[in-house]
Structure 1
Amino acid sequence: MFLDELAPVFKELTGNPVAFLGGFVSGLLRLNLAEDPVKSWLDQQAGGSSYTPTSISSNGNGPQTISIE
C-alpha cells in the first residue's frame, strides 16, 4: 500500500525531526551545502570544517580498459 512506502519517511521524521526538516527544506530550496553562505554557517555551527566535495579528475582519454588475470 501507499502507507507502507512512506513508513521509512515517517520513521526518520519522528527519530530526528530537526535534521529531517532541515534536509527537507534545503532540498526544496535546492541549497548546495558546499557553497557560501550555507557552508560558512555549517562550519560555524559544527565548530570545524564541514562537507568538502571531492572532485573527480579525468585525464581526458575516455574509458580505460583493464585486464584481469
Structure 2
Amino acid sequence: MFLTELSPLAQRLLQQPIAFAGGFCSGLFKLNLNEEPLSAWLANQGYTPDSSNDGNDNSGNSGPQSISIE
C-alpha cells in the first residue's frame, strides 16, 4: 500500500528530474510562485500557476470563526 502511494511521485521524478527538483526546492523553501523572479521564469517555461493551488481560500471567510455549542 505504501508503494502504491509513492509510485506517482517516483514516476514524475523519473520523467522530469530537473523540474521535479525545482518544484521540490520551491516547496521546501516555501516560495510563492506568483512573485518575481520566479513567476517570470515560470512564464518563460510555459507554466501558469492555478488559482486553486495557491493556498488562498476565496470563499470570503478570513480568520477564525466563532461557534456556539448548546
Q: Which TM-score applies when normalising by structure 1?
A: 0.56
2:19 pairs with 1:12? no
Please, which runs of 5 or more residues in structure 2 have no aligned partner? Answer: 52-57, 61-70
CA deviations on 1:9-51 (whole Å, 9 max, x unpaired) are 00000001111110111011110111123234445xx288x64
**Aligned Cα root-mean-square deviation (Å):** 2.7
Number of residue pairs aligned between Structure 1 and Structure 2: 53
Distance in structure 2 (CA, Å) of the matches to 1:16 and 1:53 = 20
Bigger Rg over Cα: 1
Give the equivalent residue in structure 1 for 2:36: 36
Q: Which has the higher contact order (CA 8 A, sep 6+)?
A: 1
Q: Which TM-score applies when normalising by structure 2?
A: 0.56
Show structure 1 runs of 4+ deviating over 3 A. Answer: 40-43, 50-54
